Amino acid sequence: MADDGSTTNGRPWPDLPRELADHMRPHLDEVADDMIQEIQTRVREYDRPGDGSYSGTLRLAVERVLHYFVDRVADPNHDPGPVVDFFRAIGRGEAGEGRSLDAMQSAMRVGGMVAWRRLTEGADALNVSPRTLGAVGEVLMEFQNELAHAAAEGFSQAKAAVAGEMQRRRKRLLDLLFADPPAAQEAIADLAAAAHWPVPRTVAAVALGRHHQDARQPAFPPDVLADLTRRTPSLIIPDPDGPGRAKLIDRALAGTLAVVGPTVPLMEAARSMQWARKTLCLVQRGVIEADGGVIRCVEHMSTLILFQDEGLITSLAELRLAPLAHLRPSQQDRLAETLLAWLQSGRNANEVAMRLHVHPQTVRYRLRQLEELFGDQLLDPDLRFDLEIVLRARALLADNAGERMIQPAREAVGDSGEVVTFRRS
Are 27 and 118 contacting, i.e. CB atoms less than 8 angstroms apart?
yes
Average the pLDDT over 29-54 and give the result. 81
Orientation angle between helical segments 130-177 and 102-121, nearest 10 degrees: 170
At 279-290, the pLDDT tens digits run 999 998 888 888
Strands 7-8 and 234-238: unpaired
Q: What is the C-alpha to C-alpha distance for residues 40 and 57, in angstroms, rounded to an integer?
A: 13
* pLDDT higher than 60, residue 71: yes
φ, ψ at 179 (rounded to 5°): -65, 150
Kindly report the backbone phi and psi dihedral angles of residue 69, in degrees, each rounded to the nearest multiple of 5, phi listed first: -60, -45
Q: 3-class SS at 205?
A: strand
pLDDT digits (tens, 9 = 90+) for 116-163: 888 787 776 667 777 877 888 888 888 888 888 988 888 888 777 777
Q: What is the mean pLDDT of the chain?
A: 82
* 264: β partners: 203
- What pLDDT score does 217 carry? 60
CA 211/CA 37 separation, integer angstroms: 59
Residue 420 has pLDDT above 50, yes or no: no
Residue 168 CA to residue 229 CA, distance in Å, equals: 12
Query: Hey, is 388 helix, strand or coil?
Result: helix
Q: Which CATH number fits domain 18-162: 3.40.50.620, 1.10.490.70, 1.20.58.220, 3.30.565.10?
A: 1.10.490.70
Strand partners, 234: 207, 227
CA dihedral 202→207→208→210, nearest 10 degrees, is 150
C-alpha to C-alpha distance for 144 and 112, rounded to whole angstroms: 7
The single-letter DSSP state of residue 203 is E
Beta-carbon contacts of 2 under 8 Å, excluding residues fewer than 6 positions away, are 8, 9, 80, 84, 146
Confidence of residue 417 (pLDDT cuts 50, 70, 90): very low
Q: Residues of CATH 1.10.490.70 domain(s) within the chain?
A: 18-162
Specify the DSSP class assigned to residue 376. G
| pLDDT higher than threshold 70 for residue 400 | no
How sure is the predictor about 21, in pLDDT bands with cuts at 50, 70 and 90? Answer: confident
d(CA 321, CA 388): 11
282, 307 Cβ separation under 8 angstroms: yes
Name the nearest CA neighbour of 205 among 271, 264, 272.
272
- CA gap 20, 2 in Å, rounded: 21
Kindly tell me the number of DSSP H helices and DSSP E strands found in the chain. 16, 8
Model pTM greater than 0.85? no
Q: How confident is the model at residue 211 (pLDDT cuts 50, 70, 90)?
A: low
